[in-house]
Amino acid sequence: MSKVLILYGTRYGTTKGISDEIEKIIQQKGITTKSYNLEEYNIKEIPPVQEYDGIIIGSGIKIKRWTKAVKKFVNKRKSELRKMQSTLGFYVCCGVAAKKMI
């Protein structure tokens, strides 16, 4: 069975919401997922990326900057991530969904 690791950093919760939706869609395809908010975990608590068939990393972006936790994770684990580059994806969130105006 395929396993996907979803990592994200969020400032205001939008990136978490997107991560949750991505996770639901992946699980609907029968793929196992594990999700971590990098703002809440120490990098050492995140399992080795090689244990997964795919990795998705998301970050909020503000003034052209990723969240500190995501940037730190990528810098600390870049040698592992390079080995997984064919199954690695990134996304950024840079706004808030507005409610439908009547």
Domain ranges of the chain: 3-93
pLDDT reading at 102 higher than 90: no
- The pLDDT, as a whole number, for residue 32 is 96
Contact indicator for 65, 53 with CB cutoff of 8 Å = no
Phi, psi of 3 (to 5 degrees): -130, 135
Q: Which fold has domain 3-93?
A: Rossmann fold (3.40.50)
Residue-wise pLDDT for 5-32, tens only, equals 999 998 888 899 999 999 999 999 999 9
Residue-wise pLDDT for 42-95, tens only, equals 989 999 999 999 999 999 888 888 899 999 999 999 999 998 888 888 888 776
- The pLDDT, as a whole number, for residue 52 is 94
